[in-house]
Every structure is written in structure tokens, then in C-alpha cells.
Structure 1
Amino acid sequence: MSLRPLTTIGFDADDTLWQNEQFYRLTERHFTALLADYAEGDHVSERLLEAEKRNLGHYGFGIKGFTLSMIETAIEITEGHVPAKTISRILDVGRELLAHPVETLPHVRETLEALTGNYLLVMITKGDLFDQERKLAQSGLGDLFDAVEIVSDKTAVTYRRIFSKVGDGPERAMMVGNSLKSDVVPAIAAGSYGVFVPHELTWVIEHVEEPREAPRFRKIDHLGELRGLIDNLR
């Protein structure tokens, strides 16, 4: 009797299970407006992105690092003359970002409910620990997962470790997410299936080419198509 090829399914959280990037974009618009007297909005956004890239190794992913990058950018653009009132407002918009409502994406709940019990489901996400825990609690999806892993980054090593601990190893696992760079490519490198679910807003840092030649690469338009994809693997 042959073993079922798939036993464990990992899901990204931000912009796969619920909306996230749209709130960052709104916060960035507020930030560029605060610095409108010093630079054009596009220039502020470019400098902010540069600061975010520089700071990933120091602060990791998430809202706190984003807020610190906004403050750093404001200091740089104003050549150290940013008013304390502006710094205070930047901190305010950062806290507002931490309090945004959780808006689950279409087909999420029914897909998870159909899969739970038949597969081991694990949420694998990176970002601020408290923020990700808050969003999971407010989403009402927590009881549908067998495990939750909040990690500093997503690499092939990360997926091998998690899928070996939670399931039957990466070869019998699948990772589903909206980021090719974080969710799909490293999962495939670990030996798992990588399922790309595009989102209309994805952080530019997460953009890479689709690994179309990889045998375990799959792409669907939305999570409602996931069950059919899984059935075709049997």
C-alpha cells in the first residue's frame, strides 16, 4: 500500500489568509504626507524602501522595523531637522498599523475547514510575534491549525525543520502563499510543493521570478482552487 503523497500543508498568513499590505501602503501615504514640505512623495518612498532593506538584518520583518525605518528616513530626508512633533506622529501611525482590523481573504475559512482533519495544517509566518498572534486570534482561524510557527525568515532550512517537526518531512508537505521569494521558492528547495497564490499587493522585496520549470511548483488564482489542486496530486 503506497503512502499518501501529501500529509502536511503550510499556509502563509499576511496577504494569504488575511489582508496586510494594503495597510502598509496606507501608512506609507500618511508618512509621505508628513514629509511633504521636505521632499516629493516618490522620493520619500524610495528612501523608505532603501532604509527597510538596510534594516531587515537588524530589525527583521514587521511593523516595528517599518516604524523605525520611517523615523530613520525622516531624519535623513530632513538632514536631522525633523520636528519632534513629526516623529511623534510617525510613532502614532506605526501604532495605528498595529491596531488595524483583521480582514480574511475570500475562500480562506471554507478551504481550511475542508482540509482540517484530513491534513496537518500549520500556519508559517514571519513578522512581529505579538502582531501575528493578535491577527491570528482576531481572525478566528486559530482552531483550524495544528501548529503555528512565527519565524524570523523563511528559508529552505526553515521549511525542512518545520515540516519534519510537525509532519512527515518536507517531501510530503506543501507550502501555500502569496510570496514567491518567501513561501514558494524556498519550500520547493526544501523538497515540498510550493503553491503560489498571487495577491494584488505584494511588497517589492518579495518579488522574484516564478520557478515554472520546477516539478513541484503550482499556481492558483485564489484559495478556493486549492482543494482541486490537492485532489489532482493523488
Structure 2
Amino acid sequence: MGRHLTTIGFDADDTLWQNEQFFRLTEARFAALLADHASPEAISGRLLEVERRNLQFYGYGIKGFTLSMIETALTLTGGNVPAIAIAEILAAGREMLTHPVETLPHARETLEQLNGTYRLVLITKGDLFDQERKLAQSGLGDFFTAVEIVSEKSPATYRTIFARHGDGAGHSMMVGNSLKSDIVPAIEAGSWGVHIPHALTWALEHSEPPADSSRFRQLDSLGLLYSLIMKIDG
């Protein structure tokens, strides 16, 4: 009998390597820069509002985040933000774009365990250049039969990708840290969805777990994924 699963999709940021912690550190640096104009909580709240509004224009990633910080600074200072502050925000964005990649525990060993038995597909949002850079630096690229860098993750996105690189969503699984982007739409598309929470999750990625779905699973660690797949597909 053939395997039920043939294709496994993996999110990248905060699933295979660290990401959100660098945004949080930069946000704290940004709040300190504007400390004379508002409290850290107020600054973070305003920045989140601007990011939410700008997603339709800039998409996901560090470049959009940097532009949103500049817009927030202009708003909070009434358009009087000093040029040196703008320069510091741009420098912070460049530092994020050159930060070394830190793979998460069990990422490599899990891909090694699954490689050769399943088609592994990296499915990630964000800036094309930055995601390509992180994948190259991670040393994990050779495990994937395909890499999809998309503007949004919707049920249609997963149906298209799993049809292109596998045997359809029904024979596929998506693994990631974001319920909103990785799990809920993948399950709606007909695939399995395995949620592996990260200690830090961007506010705009929060969603309720699809607990009533028979294809939803949650694991405490990526290191438990292989055993789970063997139970599902054994």
C-alpha cells in the first residue's frame, strides 16, 4: 500500500530558524529612539497599526517593517523626526538583513529523517532576497525539492503548491509555527496541519487553533515530528 502522505511543507521563519526575536529587539531599539514622544507600549501599538495597514503595500518582511517604523516615527513626532533618527532606523533594518541565520533545535535532523521518503517543500512569506539569503546561510536548502516564496498563505496557495509539487493537498502536510498562516489555511485546503509553537509570535499571526479538525496536530518540538508522521503514515 502506498503512503498516505507524499509531500511535507515547512514554514521557514521561527519554524526552521529564528526570526521574530530580531524584530522584537529592533522594535525595542526603535522605542528607545522615540522615548521622548511616547511610552514603549504606545509606540509598539502604533507601529502594529501601521504594519497592519501597510501589509497590502509592502507585504511581509524586514523592508516593510523598516518603512513602517519610519512612518510611525513621522506620525509620533508630527513630521519632525530628526534625520539622525531616520538614519538609525535604516541602519537597524540593514542590520536585520545581514544578521546570521540561527537554525532552531532539531531542524536539520528532522529534515534528514524525512528526506528521501517524502517530497519536502519550503513554503514561506517575506522578501524574496532575504528569504533566499536565509535559506542559503541555513545550510538546509539541499533537503528541499522545491522552494515557494509567496506573498500570502491562503487555502488556494496550498492547493496550488501541493498540486504542483506533490499529489494534492489531501496527501500533504504543512508544518509551521503560525496558526493563521501555516495551519488553518492548509487544513482548509485539505492537508494535515502540524503546529509547532514558537516562544515569540507576531501579533498579526495569532489565530484560534482548528481543534475540531481531525487533521490538526500540535507538537512541543520539531524533534517530535518524525514520530508523529510515522504514526499517521505508518
TM range (shorter): over 0.9
Corresponding residue for residue 88 of structure 2: 89
Q: Write the distance in 2 (CA, Å) between the matches of 1:23 and 1:99.
A: 11
Q: Write the distance in 2 (CA, Å) between the matches of 1:28 and 1:117.
A: 41
Q: Write the distance in 1 (CA, Å) between the matches of 2:144 and 2:216.
A: 23
Matching of residues 196-207 of structure 1 within 5 Å:
196-207=195-206
Corresponding residue for residue 143 of structure 2: 144
Corresponding residue for residue 175 of structure 2: 176
Alignment pair present for 1:130 and 2:120: no
Measure how far apart 1:196 and its partner are: 0.2
Matching of residues 48-127 of structure 1 within 5 Å:
48-127=47-126
Q: Write the distance in 2 (CA, Å) between the matches of 1:219 and 1:36.
A: 39
Give the residue type in structure 1 aligned to 2:222. Answer: L
Measure how far apart 1:68 and its partner are: 0.4
CA offsets 1:135-156 (integer angstroms, 9 cap, x no match): 0000000001110000001000
Measure how far apart 1:40 and its partner are: 1.1
Corresponding residue for residue 8 of structure 2: 9
Measure how far apart 1:4 and its partner are: 1.4
Q: Write the distance in 2 (CA, Å) between the matches of 1:181 and 1:145.
A: 23
CA offsets 1:32-89 (integer angstroms, 9 cap, x no match): 0110111111111100000000000110000000000000000000001101111111
TM-score, normalised on structure 2? 0.99
Measure how far apart 1:3 and its partner are: 3.1
Q: Write the distance in 2 (CA, Å) between the matches of 1:40 and 1:220.
A: 36
Q: Write the distance in 2 (CA, Å) between the matches of 1:30 and 1:4.
A: 49
Q: Write the distance in 1 (CA, Å) between the matches of 2:146 and 2:220.
A: 25
Q: Write the distance in 2 (CA, Å) between the matches of 1:89 and 1:231.
A: 49
Structure 2 unaligned blocks of 5 or more: none
Measure how far apart 1:114 and its partner are: 0.8
Give the residue type in structure 2 aligned to 1:107. Answer: H
TM-score, normalised on structure 1? 0.99
CA offsets 1:11-37 (integer angstroms, 9 cap, x no match): 000000000000000000110011011
Measure how far apart 1:100 and its partner are: 1.1
Give the residue type in structure 2 aligned to 1:91. Answer: L
Q: Write the distance in 2 (CA, Å) between the matches of 1:94 and 1:227.
A: 36
Q: Write the distance in 2 (CA, Å) between the matches of 1:173 and 1:40.
A: 46
Give the residue type in structure 1 aligned to 2:87. Answer: S
Alignment pair present for 1:210 and 2:209: yes
How many residue pairs end up in the alignment? 233
Corresponding residue for residue 153 of structure 2: 154
CA offsets 1:154-201 (integer angstroms, 9 cap, x no match): 000000000000001000000000000000000000000000000000
Corresponding residue for residue 41 of structure 2: 42
Measure how far apart 1:228 and its partner are: 0.7
Give RMSD over aligned pairs. 0.6
Q: Write the distance in 2 (CA, Å) between the matches of 1:152 and 1:208.
A: 19
Task: Give the secondary-structure state (helix, strand or coil) at the position aligned to 1:68.
Answer: helix
Measure how far apart 1:230 and its partner are: 0.5
Task: Give the secondary-structure state (helix, strand or coil) at the position aligned to 1:3.
Answer: coil
Task: Give the secondary-structure state (helix, strand or coil) at the position aligned to 1:232.
Answer: helix
